[in-house]
Homo-oligomer: A and B are copies of this chain.
Amino acid sequence: VSFYPVNATIYAQGDEAGPLYLVEFGTVRICQLTPDGRRQITGFCYAGEVFGLEAGDEHGSYAESVDGAGIRVLRPAGDSNFARRLLNVALRRLTRVQSHLMLLGRMSANERVASFLLDLLDRQASDRTINLPMQRNDVADYLGMTFETVSRVLRVLKDRAIIQVVSAERIDVLDADALSELA
């Protein structure tokens, strides 16, 4: 298990692929860049989740730690069951990415943020408090919008008494039903 401080690169685009990575604690973002520097975050990985699986022998995306993160490297065993386990990881990721497609292709800014908050709520197994380890810019690049718009949407949700912005990195959900309604 190795420790990555804030914004450290775990692997870069073009690096040789192979090993998988397990998040022990902290948060990781998986990103892609356009030639002219626009960034799309294709996923966040939290404690207990696995990332680094990719087709080909080169990474098409890059991974960075969002906050301080502990990462365990999983070297692939030649195990015959291993393909099956990899398949599971790949399929889980696939469904995740596909609903992300829906979000980016067909949802408004309000809906995107609401969905994102609900997803966090679910993954953090909480029913009220949400922890946002990543900053607004990361959220924006994940949701396909600008950080200003993220900020504005949060304000709208606050004004409607759906959420409470306790601090920049902590949000309390006051009305989960209204949030589901929006998403």
Which residues of A are interface residues toward B (Cβ below 8 A)?
Answer: 32, 34, 38-40, 42, 53-56, 60-61, 80, 83-84, 86-88, 90-95, 97-102, 104-107, 141, 143-144
Instruction: Decide: B144 and A95 in contact? CB cutoff 8 A.
Output: no
CB pair B144 A61 closer than 8 Å: no
Indicate how many identical chains form the complex.
2
A87 touches B83 (CB 8 A): yes
Chain A interface secondary structure, helix, strand, loop or mixed?
helix
What B residues does A39 contact at CB under 8 A?
106
From known contacts A54-B94, A94-B94, infer whether A105 and B104 are also in contact, taking CB-CB under 8 Å.
yes
The closest CB in chain B to the CB of A87 belongs to B87
A107 contacts which chain B residues (CB < 8 A)? 34
